[in-house]
Structure 1
Amino acid sequence: MSLEDSVQLSESFGGPHGNEFSDEAAATSGQTIGSITIRAGKRIDGIALEIKAPIATTLAHGGGGGGDPKTLTLGAGEYITSMETHWGERKGHTRIFYLSFTTSAGNSISAGTMTNDKNSVTAPEGFQLGGFFGRDGDEIDSIGAIWTSIALVTAPPNATPAPWVEKTMGHDGVVPFKQPEPVTISEKAAVKFKPQLHISNGCHAYPAVNLAGETSGGLETKGAPSAGCKGSGWGSQVYGRSTWFNDVWAIMYSWYFPKDSPSTGLGHRHDWEHVIVWIDNPDVAEPKILAVTPSAHSGYSAQVPPDADKVDGNSVKVNYESSWPINHALESTTKGGDYQDLIMWEQLSEAARQGLQNTNFGSANVPMKDGNFEGKLDKAWPFGKKA
């Protein structure tokens, strides 16, 4: 089977309203599906598919947060193999009223209201449900199944990768990566020293990219500094990347904010801020923090070493704040903050790395991407003369 044939689309059902969505770029052969969740009242408000492997994430569609959630958790070697869809009209728009899914083990989940307009699709032999495509808004307007090969199919050697195409989505629709279990020395160190982020004012941190490489469209600088960005319903994200730099181990932790606006009309769409935690050696029993350098207005502040009251165990504490009319920046703080799921640069899907590498975030730039990462470390170096 070719790589192209390992992902197949069913017929779709519903109407032409809402915004187009597709998980085709994220759906791959060899996936392990953990669970499926339907949010519904009289109609289908949302649908979510939890992917456990090869990269843990959730493919979710529908908005508004309405409906009661129902979840079916799959067992080992169990696959979703059929989908039944019912649709009808609501206020002149065709909506999905009912969904039902059945697994290879005979388990099922359904929600919504049955109608006379209905159809069913079944996975080809050797395939399972790996994602969705269709249209949505506050509810699901149309939906189709993306079937993926249960067996892993790999690209032939020297295959030419598909060209990357920029695709953005609403800032509150980006689903973060779940924090993977750390395996390597560098991953374990990054989790061990994960910082706390305190928000004094402005936006909360949001995911910037999803599994499929779709990036956040951000927010206009309208309303209060935190208007429209008080936290994502899907959860937040902190992005990490680490390396040796002048014989010191540097771990960069980066956060994305949909806007950087001290007050309405000031600032800009999108913001990236980061902190670099410098440690002596990740491969010793008790690594020590040597310095911390939070980003601030294209530069850095530094603590060498950090004050004891600005560290909680192994976690440095940083504060995101704007002193009007200056834009937001990070600084070391005594205030405790929150943790976000950490995803390292190397743990991102290829599509997500391409999204962060190539998307134009305007006045903000992705600090850990290729071409930026080592230059940021060089600029933030806090120890005086380099080795």
Structure 2
Amino acid sequence: MQPATILSLLALVGSGLCDWPAPGTVAHDSLNPVVDTLGPNGSVIKKFLPLLHIAHGSDGKVVGGHRHDWETSIVWFDSASVNSAIITGGACSGHGKFKLTSSPQINSNNVKVEYYTQGGLDHELQFTNTVGRTYWIWDWDAMEPIVKGALNKGDFKKANCPFNDNHFETNMRAAYV
């Protein structure tokens, strides 16, 4: 093949690529990367799923602070029966500690939780009057062993995975209302 022929083919292919539409934009808050994965108490978990409002963040603009951490909201209820359980308290994490309440703000059966930042460095969860949205559930009891292993053995530096085997019981005790 002659060099001119090769360049002509490349030009033809290149011109075809130029006609492709620009890639679309996906709204960050519309992504749900996993399907709800629920274990034996899935119906109770789903009933009390927190409504998360993200007050600051998720816009892709990082000016300072850090891009990852683990924050936790815990909902306490009085029964494992989906028909009779009621919320008895809640806890939200920030800086390795929990803010506890026996009366978290709720909407129907769902606690209203807000992720917020102050000054770019401080970020945590708090209960709020603002209604957020639900996100996917990935129940620890229903996770594949390889996923649990990664979360148990992963090196998250100072950002400890709050629900893995290494931290779950300690966090439950600290968040008990």
Consecutive unaligned residues in structure 1, runs of 5 or more: 1-41, 44-64, 68-173, 204-225, 229-262, 383-387
Query: In the TM superposition, what are the counterparts of 1:76-87 in structure 2 within 5 Å?
Result: none
Aligned residue number for residue 202 of structure 1: 57
Output the CA distance in 1 between the equivalents of 2:82 and 2:140.
23
Residue number among 63, 66, 76 corresponding to 2:23 in the alignment: 66
Output the CA distance in 2 between the equivalents of 1:227 and 1:371.
31
* 1:136-180 Cα shifts (integer Å, max 9, x gaps): xxxxxxxxxxxxxxxxxxxxxxxxxxxxxxxxxxxxxx9832114
Output the CA distance in 2 between the equivalents of 1:187 and 1:178.
13
Given the alignment of the two structures, is residue 271 of structure 1 paired with residue 69 of structure 2, yes or no? Answer: yes
Moved over 4 A (4+): none
Output the CA distance in 2 between the equivalents of 1:183 and 1:360.
26
Aligned residue number for residue 223 of structure 1: none
Output the CA distance in 1 between the equivalents of 2:161 and 2:39.
25
Offset at residue 365 of structure 1 (A)? 1.3
Q: Contact (CA 8 Å) 1:270, 1:361: kept in 2 or not?
A: no
Aligned residue number for residue 160 of structure 2: 365
Aligned residue number for residue 144 of structure 1: none
Residue number among 134, 137, 144 corresponding to 1:342 in the alignment: 137
Q: For residue 98 of structure 2, what is the amino acid of its counterpart?
A: Y
Q: Contact (CA 8 Å) 1:195, 1:315: kept in 2 or not?
A: yes
* 1:201-246 Cα shifts (integer Å, max 9, x gaps): 123xxxxxxxxxxxxxxxxxxxxxx435xxxxxxxxxxxxxxxxxx
If the length of structure 1 is used for normalisation, what is the TM-score? Answer: 0.36
Query: In the TM superposition, what are the counterparts of 1:280-359 in structure 2 within 5 Å?
Result: 280-283=78-81, 285-306=83-104, 310-359=105-154
Aligned residue number for residue 43 of structure 2: 188
Give the share of equivalent positions with the same residue, in percent.
Answer: 29
SS where residue 316 of structure 1 aligns?
strand
Given the alignment of the two structures, is residue 177 of structure 1 paired with residue 10 of structure 2, yes or no? Answer: no
Output the CA distance in 2 between the equivalents of 1:196 and 1:175.
15
Change (3 A) 1:177 1:347: farther
Q: For residue 176 of structure 1, what is the amino acid of its counterpart?
A: P
* Structure with a larger share of its residues in strand: 1
State the number of aligned residues: 152
Query: In the TM superposition, what are the counterparts of 1:85-234 in structure 2 within 5 Å?
Result: 176-180=33-37, 182=38, 184=40, 186-203=41-58, 226-227=59-60
Output the CA distance in 1 between the equivalents of 2:34 and 2:115.
22
Change (3 A) 1:198 1:284: closer
Q: Contact (CA 8 Å) 1:198, 1:319: kept in 2 or not?
A: yes
Offset at residue 358 of structure 1 (A)? 1.4
Offset at residue 326 of structure 1 (A)? 4.2
SS where residue 374 of structure 1 aligns?
helix
Q: Contact (CA 8 Å) 1:270, 1:363: kept in 2 or not?
A: no
Offset at residue 268 of structure 1 (A)? 2.7
Consecutive unaligned residues in structure 2, runs of 5 or more: 1-15, 25-30
Offset at residue 290 of structure 1 (A)? 0.2
Q: Contact (CA 8 Å) 2:52, 2:114: kept in 1 or not?
A: yes
Residue number among 151, 164, 174 corresponding to 1:379 in the alignment: 174
SS where residue 72 of structure 2 aligns?
strand
Output the CA distance in 2 between the equivalents of 1:196 and 1:313.
11
Output the CA distance in 2 between the equivalents of 1:371 and 1:314.
30
Aligned residue number for residue 5 of structure 2: none
Offset at residue 325 of structure 1 (A)? 5.0
Higher relative contact order at CA 8 Å, sep ≥6: structure 1 or structure 2? 2
Query: In the TM superposition, what are the counterparts of 1:222-261 in structure 2 within 5 Å?
Result: 226-227=59-60
Q: For residue 138 of structure 2, what is the amino acid of its counterpart?
A: I
Output the CA distance in 1 between the equivalents of 2:32 and 2:151.
15
Change (3 A) 1:373 1:340: same
Offset at residue 66 of structure 1 (A)? 3.2
Output the CA distance in 2 between the equivalents of 1:345 and 1:367.
11
SS where residue 346 of structure 1 aligns?
helix
Q: Contact (CA 8 Å) 2:93, 2:124: kept in 1 or not?
A: yes
Change (3 A) 1:312 1:375: same
